[in-house]
Amino acid sequence: MKSRIAHVTLDCTDMTVVAQFWSAALDRPIESGDGSTYCYVGAEDEPYRLCVMQTPDTKTVKNRMHFDIAAAGDRQAEVKRLLTLGAEIVTEYDEGGSQWTTLRDIEGNEFCVF
């Protein structure tokens, strides 16, 4: 039997706010988990889902792993949509024929939109 990634866990200080951000960003439902310390973004039968876990730790350095999101259509329009959800732009890139925007979510976790 091969191992597989069941979900990617995102630690945060406000589980509800972070789950709502990623649910809206990815257009996926929130599933309750245990209701107080973690929940899921995405349905159990999807290829992956996020586990949003409340912890007392705050983010202090750059993420070593991050999400790369493929915009469905216009990248700049997707970035604007994510900004309305509470994201903030870190920087824009145009390298090697590729363009992307690095943003931070509502608690400062970096992610990129291609």
Domain locations in the chain? 1-58, 59-114
Give start and end residues of each alpha helix (H) in the chain: 15-26, 75-84
- 90 contacts 103 by C-beta, under 8 angstroms: yes
What average pLDDT does range 54-66 have in this prediction?
A: 87
Is 64's pLDDT higher than 90?
no
Q: Is the pLDDT of residue 1 over 80?
A: no
**What's domain 59-114's architecture?**
Roll (3.10)
Which tens digit of pLDDT belongs to each residue from 11-56? 999 999 999 999 999 999 999 888 789 999 998 888 889 999 999 9
- Average pLDDT estimate for 73-93: 96
Please give the mean pLDDT across all residues of the chain.
92
| pLDDT (0 to 100) of residue 108 | 94
CATH code for residues 1-58: 3.10.180.10
Question: CA 57, CA 103: separation in Å to the nearest integer?
Answer: 21
